[in-house]
Structure 1
């Protein structure tokens, strides 16, 4: 129903249709003779009073929306059209009010759904751009290890009988090194896929971070292309709940990064400590350090080394480190002095 009423110059209701009771929630007898302002919130009173003043001056008011309090529930939103009535008596105004509460509610829901659709479309565009970028980078970066593997395989096949045993082992070592590199690339791409598709779930289990550091250091130290690893911990154990597969990948990626930047036979140092109630792990290399202009994007995806003489990668390792650590409510940061090596550190709550 529409509410139809007349008001005098003071805003008092002088006549009103009986259907108004169903819309407004008040008996029509209570509305008669009362100023309509008392049923409005403070924020709406000024707007309504100004509209009444303009209407009594002869201006036609169209589609003015006001929220009027109901005694039995939330406010009702009214769309008002008003005009001045001319007669022999005092000035009066005719007001027709339509309940648009449900319409505004539906509009709000539609806006929220549109925002969700826009966000979904934006996300799809991001994933499409990511796919295009990833295919280009992977296609380019896979050529390098595959070329090395192919070259050494062909050399072994064609010159097996002429090669010394030492040279054969060197060829195999190079092939194994590139196979490990390929495996790390594949693991990082799979991790990126899980992250970008919001399928990153943590399976937390009790465990000891010190024991994990020892295991990873031992495994990585015998990997072809590795560097000597020195592990220093100030405590015997660091017990916590974590997804240990992901934390292991964090440490592997940090060591792999340190190997890339360290000269051959240079030692990589891993330290474990408890500071301010957090487990803190630092991985220090003896490379050239991180240039100032590259530090801001160090943990972004597809950030690759521009350092001369260093092998490139997919640029995903440190991005995955940051994502996995932050998923555990931890932090990751760089401690660096250019030309003196880099220290990449992360912390986890214990």
Structure 2
């Protein structure tokens, strides 16, 4: 069994690791409300350095309008300390060093240290969660609007079978207002009840249609329902085994008109075509809404998977290297310390690159990035970026630059720089040692064309159509660090330049990206 000193040392080390690497902000204050400890997450969240926080009133992290009131809350908490959530059910806000306010969640705890009462606040920035929840609410609202507004009757039903697997009835699972109107019953009177209660037993024709749908067919059928006394044009399909979706359009009047105008064949055909188009359009609207929900769910899953992997790997590297550095405390072990310090720096850079991608995408999607023009020496910019990237080159890698045409253009320098950096960085990352990378620039007739060619792993042909999607990574690149956002961001940047980006690629042979855009941009259009 370890001796007490070893246990104490390991406990303190564990606490320090938890305190330093926690992804939630931690602040410790005394009875006077003065900050005694603050972890790195607090420094990053609020924009302060540690020495700027220690000894300061905790109100420095609170909006000015709430500071006086908060002092009394601190006094009240120390009078009756207990573990609890702060401001449950309320919107809490904190204040950064630069004055920006943002929403937070706060949990409070307390402990005694050498006879002194201390309070611990766990602070979480929830602005991204609020944005995500708002987007989900908006998507749900749009789907509900479409679902409730369509004029066709929508029925989602469970297929009921007997012990011999014969279809005997349907059970209502979901309906829309149009169905309530047809059945003259409220939603609560229909859902959970059998179809036979309202429309009678299933006939042979409907049973055959359901059997076809179970085999994957999409069946359309016109039917007269005796219990209602009306004709319906019905579409039957299924999105899930054991369930039946029915879209029904009341065509009673159409049938009456068909009988009365049997001799007007051209008018009848026109009416039928219009009706068919309407049914298809309405079916498409509902299907599109369901697909949008599915796409949002898949996008969220890809984001969580990539974010989890890309953050966990560098964090694990930082944690393990930090632990190992402590063991290399002798002068002759300097090389070992440098090796792990380099690993930590590399991991931090990876995290920074990931966050930069997320921030760039957010700004682009919110329309916060605008192109502005200036005169640029494109040759000098290209050479400067190549020199900057030389430190990233693998053993034997070389970047070659070729330039043809007028060196000066009028465009957005910052956007062009981001595009070149991203494409060249990808070429380095996805190419092996001893491979060449080619950057060629050509300007002719007010059209600038930039090509970045590598001899890397290439993109599988069956995945090339997805490469500009968000969070998408080809199967042969999953073991290489990246978020799957780079090409999506580049495409958005190029579109801001009123340009276009294409590529050709062959697996295991390399990829060539081509970016084309106006060399002399329109000042009025781009705000220059």
* Superposition TM-score, scaled by structure 1 size: 0.58
- Displacement after TM superposition at 1:207 (Å): 1.1
Structure 1 residues 345 and 165, CA, compared in 2 at 3 Å: closer, same or farther? farther
- Displacement after TM superposition at 1:174 (Å): 2.8
Q: What is the CA–CA distance in structure 2 between the aligned matches of 1:181 and 1:237, rounded to whole Å? A: 37
Q: Secondary structure at the match of 2:508?
A: coil
Query: In the alignment, is the contact (CA less than 8 A) between 2:405 and 2:442 conserved in 1?
Result: no
| Structure-1 residue corresponding to 2:489 | 320
Q: What is the CA–CA distance in structure 2 between the aligned matches of 1:168 and 1:236, rounded to whole Å? A: 50
| Structure-1 residue corresponding to 2:388 | 219
| Structure-1 residue corresponding to 2:371 | 202
Query: In the alignment, is the contact (CA less than 8 A) between 1:334 and 1:342 conserved in 2?
Result: yes
Q: Does 1:263 align with 2:427?
A: no
Name which one, 1 or 2, has greater alpha-carbon Rg.
Answer: 1
Query: In the alignment, is the contact (CA less than 8 A) between 2:400 and 2:439 conserved in 1?
Result: yes
Q: What is the CA–CA distance in structure 1 between the aligned matches of 2:329 and 2:433, rounded to whole Å? A: 28
Q: Does 1:142 align with 2:308?
A: no
Alpha-carbon deviations, 1:197-226, whole Å to 9, x = none? 232311222212222111111111124869
| Structure-1 residue corresponding to 2:326 | 157
Query: In the alignment, is the contact (CA less than 8 A) between 1:274 and 1:280 conserved in 2?
Result: yes
Alpha-carbon deviations, 1:75-115, whole Å to 9, x = none? xxxxxxxxxxxxxxxxxxxxxxxxxxxxxxxxxxxxxxxxx
Query: In the alignment, is the contact (CA less than 8 A) between 1:287 and 1:339 conserved in 2?
Result: yes
| Structure-2 residue corresponding to 1:247 | 416
- Displacement after TM superposition at 1:284 (Å): 1.9
Structure 1 residues 194 and 276, CA, compared in 2 at 3 Å: closer, same or farther? same
Q: Secondary structure at the match of 2:311?
A: helix
Q: Give the alignment of 1:63-82 within 5 angstroms.
A: none
Q: Secondary structure at the match of 1:295?
A: helix
Q: What is the CA–CA distance in structure 2 between the aligned matches of 1:268 and 1:286, rounded to whole Å? A: 7
Q: What is the CA–CA distance in structure 2 between the aligned matches of 1:259 and 1:322, rounded to whole Å? A: 19
- Displacement after TM superposition at 1:192 (Å): 0.7
Query: In the alignment, is the contact (CA less than 8 A) between 1:260 and 1:310 conserved in 2?
Result: no
Query: In the alignment, is the contact (CA less than 8 A) between 1:229 and 1:270 conserved in 2?
Result: no
| Structure-2 residue corresponding to 1:290 | 459
Q: Does 1:280 align with 2:449?
A: yes
Q: Secondary structure at the match of 1:215?
A: helix
| Structure-1 residue corresponding to 2:469 | 300
Q: Give the alignment of 1:1-350 within 5 angstroms.
A: 134-161=303-330, 164-223=333-392, 228-235=397-404, 237-275=406-444, 277-307=446-476, 310-350=479-519
Pairwise CA RMSD: 3.4
Displaced runs of 4 or more, over 6 A:
116-119, 123-129, 224-227
Q: What is the CA–CA distance in structure 2 between the aligned matches of 1:286 and 1:180, rounded to whole Å? A: 25
Q: What is the CA–CA distance in structure 1 between the aligned matches of 2:356 and 2:297, rounded to whole Å? A: 20
Q: What is the CA–CA distance in structure 1 between the aligned matches of 2:465 and 2:375, rounded to whole Å? A: 34
- Structure number with greater CO (CA < 8 Å, separation at least 6) is 1
* Superposition TM-score, scaled by structure 2 size: 0.39
Q: What is the CA–CA distance in structure 1 between the aligned matches of 2:432 and 2:393, rounded to whole Å? A: 14
Structure 1 alignment gaps of length 5 or more = 1-115
Q: What is the CA–CA distance in structure 1 between the aligned matches of 2:298 and 2:366, rounded to whole Å? A: 13
Q: Secondary structure at the match of 2:449?
A: strand
Query: In the alignment, is the contact (CA less than 8 A) between 1:304 and 1:312 conserved in 2?
Result: no
